[in-house]
Structure 1
Amino acid sequence: MTATNKLELIIEKSLSLPGVKVSREDFLTSVFSKRKDAAQLKEIVEKGPYGAGVTRKEIDNIAKSIIHKRTLTSTSISFGAGLPGGLAMAGTIPGDVIQFYGIAMRLAQELAYLYGHHDLWLEEHLDTERARDKIIVFLGVMFGVGGSTSAIKFLSSSLSKQVLKKLPQKALTKTVYYPIIKKIAGYIGVKLTKETFAEGLSKAIPVVGGVISGSITYSTMRPMGKRLAVTLSETLVMTDEEVKEEFYELRKEFPEIIDVEFEEIEDIEV
């Protein structure tokens, strides 16, 4: 099984788990209904928290709380999966790995919505492939895969739309996402092979195996969430110069994506 096929299987199986797909409106309502009045809540749903006047500091604090919650959830699930008779295998991928990525994807969506991204699952004429692509890039940031952070920062700016207007023959999902996703797939494929081997050994001793799985999950999920939260938080206050820096970082990492100079797209109306 190739790295790309393995990643596709992980995404497919994980997204099929209950609760992995997150409704933006439901999530924001649950987070802010006790913090804001009805009028403010409506504006948050319409414009996103930061656009509705919620401070960056408050958003960051909420993000920390969500990361802590999801970390505890993933740890308890991983412990159960490490015991005999735990989650069933999904092809050649252990069930607890599917659960881990499912929770990571849920966390990625929640953080994205908290920092102003649109609902991935309620867009007009929903493109499921594009939604999956965005989630994979979020995972890339969480795992620290080179180029993913610059991609999120740049694509969160209005200049990404300018690039599309400058390069009308190149579809965003194919030119920007594809090479990044290919790199992330390779990284996750290698990581998954190592994890699968390690977890297979740990489960040879049943109860200890569960503890080991839970410990590994806790030490992994929290920094993953923090890495994505920091990246998304920075997109809220990026200057034009910082956007320019991310543009060239992205082009340096993936020269096949963008072949124009920054100055060539600055004067195009969005």
Structure 2
Amino acid sequence: MGELKQQGNVENILETAMQIPGVKVSRDEFLTNIFAGRKSSEQLAEIIEKGPYHAGVKKKEIDNLANSYILKRTLTSTSISFGTGLPGGLAMAGTIPADTIQFFGLALRLAQELAYLYGHENLWLEEHLDTEKARDNMILYLGVMFGASGSASVIKVTTSGLSKQVLKKLPQKALTRTLYYPIIKKVSGYIGVKVTKNSFAKGVSKVVPVLGGVVSGGVTYYTMKPMGKRLAATLSETLILTEDDITKEWEELEKEFPEIIDIKTGE
């Protein structure tokens, strides 16, 4: 299967899964539910405005919340129902199994929650993904969860508070859109290969009952839990990266995507 087709599969999965009721996460509502009983109303307002870490919440507390929330999500997943399943008119049965779409729905929901906990901006504008960059970030989150090489480095380089400062020192290597997009395509292709492999579809099918039914805890505990931990660990690192760390992550990207970075930087 070609790279463009693989990328298209991932984009179709993302768009379809996001339309399943309960997958979209409101940033403000999520942060309020997490911190309302832990912080004062003044600090809660600051958390919503700046993100937990920049509002004074300690990294250790955020990490503990992330771990407990991953565990909570995986252990209570048997009570999560996606109602009637996929929205009408979005049939992908001929290419991507419905249970795979539901699996990605759970992954995308957890990815949003972890991203908001670690200070990322709201991804939603009314009922749609806010920007193309936001959609790409969702693909990168999935890339980290699936272990796609380079995806963690891209998140670290682009979301750390020091990223802009460091990249300004590397003007010839600026992570421009023309460079960012090919990397997204590579990550999409990796995920697409994983999804279309029979082993993945069969593995999910064994523990996900029927379309529209309740998702078994087995799939989330044994598969989603390590996926969530990978993403949480990456997001946690972005809070404390130094300039040297970001430069090293950039060097990792150069090694991982030489055909992209060498062409785009003229090296």
Q: Is the 8 A contact 2:9 2:192 kept in 1?
A: yes
1:3 alignment partner, one of 6, 9, 14: 6
Partner of 2:252: 249
Paired residues in the alignment total 249
**Cα distance, 1:235 vs. partner?**
0.9
Aligned pair in 2 of structure 1 residues 260, 245: CA closer, same or farther (>3 Å)?
farther
2:232 alignment partner, one of 229, 232, 239: 229
Question: Is 1:181 paired with 2:184?
Answer: yes
2:150 partner amino acid: G
Aligned pair in 2 of structure 1 residues 6, 28: CA closer, same or farther (>3 Å)?
same
Query: Could you tell me how far apart the structure 2 residues matched to 1:211 and 1:22 are?
Result: 19
Written as runs of structure 1 = structure 2, the 5 A alignment for 1:55-74 is 55-74=58-77
Query: Could you tell me how far apart the structure 1 residues matched to 2:55 and 2:63 are?
Result: 15
Q: Is the 8 A contact 2:146 2:227 kept in 1?
A: yes
Aligned pair in 2 of structure 1 residues 30, 76: CA closer, same or farther (>3 Å)?
closer
Query: Could you tell me how far apart the structure 2 residues matched to 1:95 and 1:4 are?
Result: 18
2:17 partner amino acid: S
Question: Is 1:90 paired with 2:95?
Answer: no
TM-score when normalising by structure 1: 0.79
Query: Could you tell me how far apart the structure 1 residues matched to 2:61 and 2:46 are?
Result: 16
2:265 alignment partner, one of 259, 262, 267: 259
Percentage identity across aligned positions? Answer: 59
Partner of 1:264: none
Aligned pair in 2 of structure 1 residues 244, 147: CA closer, same or farther (>3 Å)?
same
Query: Could you tell me how far apart the structure 1 residues matched to 2:132 and 2:256 are?
Result: 23
Q: Secondary structure at the match of 1:35?
A: coil
Aligned pair in 2 of structure 1 residues 73, 130: CA closer, same or farther (>3 Å)?
farther
Of 85-94 and 244-253, more deviation after overlay is shown by: 85-94
**Cα distance, 1:245 vs. partner?**
0.6
Name structure 1 gaps, 5 residues minimum: 262-270
Query: Could you tell me how far apart the structure 2 residues matched to 1:14 and 1:224 are?
Result: 17
Partner of 1:139: 142
Question: Is 1:109 paired with 2:112?
Answer: yes
1:237 partner amino acid: I
2:40 alignment partner, one of 24, 30, 37: 37
Query: Could you tell me how far apart the structure 2 residues matched to 1:33 and 1:240 are?
Result: 34
Partner of 1:196: 201
Render the CA deviation track for 1:85-132: whole Å, top value 9, x for unaligned.
987963322222111111111111111111111111249x97432211
2:34 partner amino acid: V
Render the CA deviation track for 1:24-77: whole Å, top value 9, x for unaligned.
111111110011110110111111111011011110111012212222354566
Render the CA deviation track for 1:181-227: whole Å, top value 9, x for unaligned.
22222222222222224556x49xx89xx999653442110000001
- Aligned-residue CA RMSD in angstroms? 3.4
Aligned pair in 2 of structure 1 residues 117, 247: CA closer, same or farther (>3 Å)?
same
Q: Secondary structure at the match of 1:238?
A: coil
Name structure 2 gaps, 5 residues minimum: none
**Cα distance, 1:241 vs. partner?**
1.3
Query: Could you tell me how far apart the structure 2 residues matched to 1:212 and 1:116 are?
Result: 29
1:175 partner amino acid: L
Aligned pair in 2 of structure 1 residues 74, 97: CA closer, same or farther (>3 Å)?
farther
Aligned pair in 2 of structure 1 residues 21, 239: CA closer, same or farther (>3 Å)?
same
TM-score when normalising by structure 2: 0.79
